[in-house]
Structure 1
Amino acid sequence: MQVRAIPTLPTQPPKKRRSTRLICIIVLLCLVLLSVLFFRSPISKVNDLRFVGNTMAAKEQLSEASGLKSGSPYFFMSEEKIKEAIISSYPFIQSVQMEKHFPGKVTVYVKEYETVAYELKSDGQVEACLENGSVVLLKQEKQLVLEKPLLTNWSDPNGDAVKKQLSTSLAAIPEGLLADISEIKYDPSDSFNDRIKIYTRSGFEVITTVSMLPDKIAYLSGIVETQEPGRITMLQADSYISYTNLSKENADE
């Protein structure tokens, strides 16, 4: 007797597996659609942009230099490129820091180099001389209080290089002494091409050079704080004479 084999039924994929795959595709499509809608919506854009600490450049100027403005993408911005763009455009800016708060709020903190002196130009405009040696033409509304030294007689062709060195030297002077200096006059001589005359609000006249100034600060501070007004010479040798004794010497001659 011949036994007939019963044919096996073809296997069917589980319906559950098909349903899971379909659900995954639907979820993925929904996520893609939501992402597209989100990044096209105002909530993904910069809507509150602030610059803090800038006094020499307007918000509009910083915005143009950095490319950062209202409506810029909030998530896809390169903070390093924005910082580099601002600093390279404005040498008087020392550092830039960004702070982001979702949704859409960006604050840019700008730190500028300190102003150590001002220069009155022949056309009446005022330039700020900064601690890093750069100069900035001040806006009219900023020309109100010149609480730092005023530079005069710096039109000499060699004056610009000396002025840059002077700015870095002034940055190292104690704040109280710097505030006492009212004027710095460029007064080169055959022996010293960087000689200057300093006039203080407390009544002293100081003759020195830009290159010697950093090493002479201690001597200058000691005389200004302890002696009556007079003339201080700080060149290869240091000397001080009060105006009272100076008048007597001139009378005896």
Structure 2
Amino acid sequence: MNKKKKNQSSFKLHLPPFKKVGTSKTTNNGNQSFSVNKKKEQVSKKPQSLEHTLPKLKKQRQKNLLTRLITLILLFSFAILIVVYFISPLSKVDMVSVSGTKEVADQEIIDISQIKSGKNLWGIFFEKKNISKMVLADLPQVKAMEISLSGLNDYTIKVEEYKTVAYLAEDNKYYNILENGKIVNESRKVSIGNPPIFKNFEENKALILMIDQYKAINETTQNSISEIEYTPDDIDDYLIKIYMNDGNEVIASIPSFAEKMVYYPDMVKKIGDQKGTFNIEVGAYFSPFQYNDKKKDEENAQKTTPEENSVEIDLEEAGE
């Protein structure tokens, strides 16, 4: 018993000393830190700042939700409008018109382009270039074409054509000869307008050169020409014979045709009322027609040279 009492009396509880609250604390550098009381004041202020922040966050969240809702409504509305548009007749071609045509029929261009009433409007819009190429390939008369929207769902095809400079006569049929040297395959029974008649021509260099020379002469001389016949020989690959509306004939070479035909009106004045053949292939000679026996005269003319059977004309004097 005495031992137990001794042990109990010898047991001591060691506790650290209590620190005073509110005292300031100094760091190793000697700077005084904030007091605990100030920290308590800061903690007590935090709930007040949250009370002001929460309503703002709530309003911002509502604003974001409203913006998303409006965006979704607009997207769905736009999608519905697109669907309705493509179902409605407004997305289909209503009318097709053609302008600028003279030689080609409007319906022929519409048929080749395949632009018809009821077809998809925008499908044609994005295929305009391919449609134009297809028409140009099928119709040599068409120089250029432009497809454009007119109104809500109508199309207008504006066409530019090559001019017809002459007609090719073959087997009592007439074929358009275009300014680019192409001969249209479609024939007609009669020629239209003032363009001259070409004979024995083909799509080659001679035809293109002949067209260029013909376009180089003035309109008055053009209108005085009735027919141009291609008559090449061993000496001149570009020899031609021109039949004039006044009854005369002209023998010329295509490369110098325009240059020498300038003098034709003055040569006619110099000859007077006589009718015959003007040879302007080399120099300028005139041979009057012999009406008694024309076939015999033609044979003799082939056997003789121009100097033996014709009168020489000075082009410089004729030009004066």
TM value normalised by structure 1: 0.77
Equivalents in 1 of 2:99, 2:269: separation in Å?
38
Contact persistence 1:51–1:107 (CA under 8 A):
yes
Cα separation, partners in 2 of 1:220 and 1:95, compared to 1, 3 Å: farther
Tell me what 1:88 maps to. Answer: 137
The answer to whether 1:68 aligns with 2:112 is no
Runs of 5+ unmatched residues, structure 1: none
Contact persistence 2:230–2:241 (CA under 8 A):
yes
Equivalents in 2 of 1:225, 1:77: separation in Å?
62
Report which of the two structures shows the higher radius of gyration computed on alpha carbons: 2
Greater fraction strand: 1
The structural deviation recorded for 1:208 is 0.5
Runs of 5+ unmatched residues, structure 2: 1-39, 291-296, 298-307, 310-320
The structural deviation recorded for 1:169 is 2.7
Q: CA RMSD in A?
A: 3.3
Question: How many residues get paired?
Answer: 241
Tell me what 2:300 maps to. Answer: none
Cα separation, partners in 2 of 1:109 and 1:216, compared to 1, 3 Å: farther
The structural deviation recorded for 1:225 is 7.2
Amino acid aligned to 1:206 = V
Greater fraction helix: 2
Tell me what 1:215 maps to. Answer: 259
Q: Which has the higher relative contact order, 1 or 2, with Cα contacts under 8 A spaced 6 or more apart? A: 1
The structural deviation recorded for 1:180 is 1.8
Equivalents in 1 of 2:235, 2:213: separation in Å?
21
* Paired residue secondary structure (1:171): helix
Q: 1:106 aligns with which of 155, 160, 163?
A: 155
Deviation per residue, 1:59-112 (Å, 9 max, x gap): 343234334333344443344333333223222222223443222222222121
Equivalents in 2 of 1:86, 1:225: separation in Å?
49
Q: 1:129 aligns with which of 169, 177, 183?
A: 177
Equivalents in 2 of 1:41, 1:203: separation in Å?
67
The answer to whether 1:120 aligns with 2:169 is yes
Contact persistence 1:98–1:106 (CA under 8 A):
yes
**Higher mean displacement: 11-20 or 28-37:** 11-20
Cα separation, partners in 2 of 1:104 and 1:221, compared to 1, 3 Å: farther
Cα separation, partners in 2 of 1:163 and 1:43, compared to 1, 3 Å: same
The structural deviation recorded for 1:165 is 3.0
- Give the fraction of aligned pairs with identical amino acids, expressed as a percent: 27
Equivalents in 1 of 2:116, 2:260: separation in Å?
48
Q: 1:206 aligns with which of 225, 250, 267?
A: 250
The structural deviation recorded for 1:240 is 4.0
The structural deviation recorded for 1:186 is 2.0
Contact persistence 2:136–2:144 (CA under 8 A):
yes
TM value normalised by structure 2: 0.63
